[in-house]
Structure 1
Amino acid sequence: MAFPQTPFYNPVIPFTGCIHGGLQEGKSISISGRVLPGADRFHVNLQCGTRTNTDIAFHFNPRYSFPDHVVTNSFQYGKWGTEERKQNSPFPAGSTFSMVITVTRESYQVMVNGCHFMEYRHRVPFQQVDTIVVGGKVEVSSIAFQSPVAFPAQPAFPSHVAYPNQSAYPPCPFPSQPGFPSHPGFPSHPGFPSQPGFPSQPGFPPAMPAMPYNNMIHGGLKPGRTITIQGNVLPNAES
């Protein structure tokens, strides 16, 4: 039985990490962090290895030239492809974010702060991706992985790996609403030490906690704070 990959907590940026088992249809990557005040850009790459000039299947690159926008692209055969641009960036400088990238058969689906933001159709086969890279003016508290779960075939459902159709979710207004604090629960200096809002690894609940589950919300709730819950509904569930 394959065990879930241990998340990366408070990685030093720039960061390069291995994606155990690579990407599969239905797998998701959750990234929580904060854009540094005065940032000009940062990036998240899903790529094929760590060598120089390796293929980058998905380059996700928020930029802070007026107006703020997000550039996505792929690097293949030693050169960049055609840029795709998304306006109304949901990553204001100085603000926290929670980002989930889900692999589907046709594309990467990206949710930010619980809302569907964009999709990026595959140019490089996702099966070749085994590395995640984060760089630029950003701090990251955690990078976590959720593997796909296969369910037995049922009359009304396909038998392949199931994943949420995130593009069906209604989009949220971007950028963040007024009143979103500029940096709740984050230090104003590099280093990203452990704190109530983002505990270090020993304080995190286990990747697969026993049900029923309860735990304290350290620091309580405040405007802009996000709670992300990932899981699978059991086949014989009643509620």
Structure 2
Amino acid sequence: MAAVLTGALITSCTAERDAGSRTAGAPARDPEGVEQLGVKVLEVLPHDPEAFTQGLEMAGGTLYESTGIVGRSSVRAGPPGKSPTVRVMMRAPLFGEGITVVGRTLWQLTWQNGVAIERDARTLAELRRVAYRDDGWGLCHQREHDRLVSSNGSSRLTFRDPATLAKTGEVAVTVRGRPVSGLNELECVGNTVYANVLFTDRIVRIDAATGAVTGEIDAAGLLPAEEKKHGAVLNGVAAVPGTDQFLLTGKLWPRLFRVVFIPL
């Protein structure tokens, strides 16, 4: 039965998009040159349906995840689709938010607690806390520039020192000349930042140097409506190292999707 359900999910999620991907010609772009993309599901994996996902990142073969809600916040690590091998709960009043791995450590933001937590990436043990004078939302690491990129729900991305989290710059994110607000969970891939837009099934692909959106990804329909709880919105984007694949999930989603982004 599980295999049948999985097959049905993959078929329903990709049939329309696959038809578009077989169309000859250049990638679909709007008049402003913004590439229009969809998702093709490669695999459906289980995900903790009680995890209020706030941050998702792959490093090596390990999937790291940060979850929110005061009293239920955590950070966890393990193979994708399996029970975490390491899990650390966060005591109230902390509300867990975005995470990123930097070498042997992991940074975890908190929402409005005024601190960020540096952890051992292997054990997830807390190493230290630093002041964080902003709302914590998404976080990722641009290795080429050795800087962190953070979001706070606005239309701006902030660059930070990877050792201290001090601000080193920022960029306004726009699409067709208009600000893109609600930037949330982040994923850095080279000079590109992927950000999901809060309360939508939309992911934007951002040129971190200019803030211009170069692509819009429609991830609607991944999780069937009957499986969505209240507040179960898309909020987990993790690139699979060494591939063009991504892992996508959301708050309170019972499934994790391994996908590729394809032209519509």
For normalisation by structure 2, the TM-score amounts to 0.31
TM-score normalised to structure 1 length: 0.33
More strand by share: 2
